Amino acid sequence: MTFRTTAKVAAAACLAFVLGAASAAAAPEVGKPAPDFTGVDTHGKTHTLKELRGKTVILEWSNDGCPYVQKHYGSGNMQKLQKDTTADGIVWLTIVSSAPGTQGNLPPAEHDALMQKRDAAPSAVLIDEEGTIGRAYGAQTTPHMYIITPDGNLAYKGAIDDKPTANQSDIEGARNYVREALEQIAAGKPVDPAVTRAYGCSIKYKTS
């Protein structure tokens, strides 16, 4: 890789990281009701947040072509978190807000095949081509994580951990904000930090 190419990659990563910082201050607000949404999964099933009242819900924005997403799936980190949480009755919704023709946008069957290949375990994968759900939550990067409590309030939004790189080796020893927040919720404690700076690739929203 040439120095120029390396610089371009670093610039792209920096841009995504900056966008994540902006999203941390965007609506919705932690401690207040999370926006309701209606989304259709890869099997044609409709999901609404209202129907999930009484359950803890995790929203994960994803894009299979993003190096930051590949970091967490290639290492098995995301899959382990999915399996650990869903085993506890938590609903995990992976959301793809990539517009048609952009990176990360795939036919439903290909999303399912990819999840199977990765041995991933979300409760469902929602296709959000219009970006309606993503914009309602102020999601800016992949991954971008949100936790909603059983009473429907937003408890956490931001990064999956405190290592904003695309290197798998950085997962070891990282502070996993999502797991930490879930432990605090289970213990009846306030989530701290409740907002962190998300990092990753910018979401490829539909522009027209």
In one-letter notation, the amino acid at residue 204 is K
State the pairing for strand pair 141-142/124-127. unpaired
What DSSP character marks residue 129?
T
Phi, psi of 100 (to 5 degrees): -55, 135
Each residue of 46-105: pLDDT tens digit?
999 999 999 999 999 999 999 999 999 999 999 999 999 999 999 999 999 999 999 999
Q: Are 203 and 141 in contact (CB under 8 A)?
A: yes
pLDDT band per the 50, 70, 90 thresholds, residue 208: confident
Domains of the chain: 3-202 (3.40.30.10)
The confidence score (pLDDT) of residue 21 equals 39
Contacts of 129 (CB under 8 A, 6+ apart): 97, 98, 99, 100, 105, 206
pLDDT band per the 50, 70, 90 thresholds, residue 10: very low
State the pairing for strand pair 46-48/141-142. unpaired
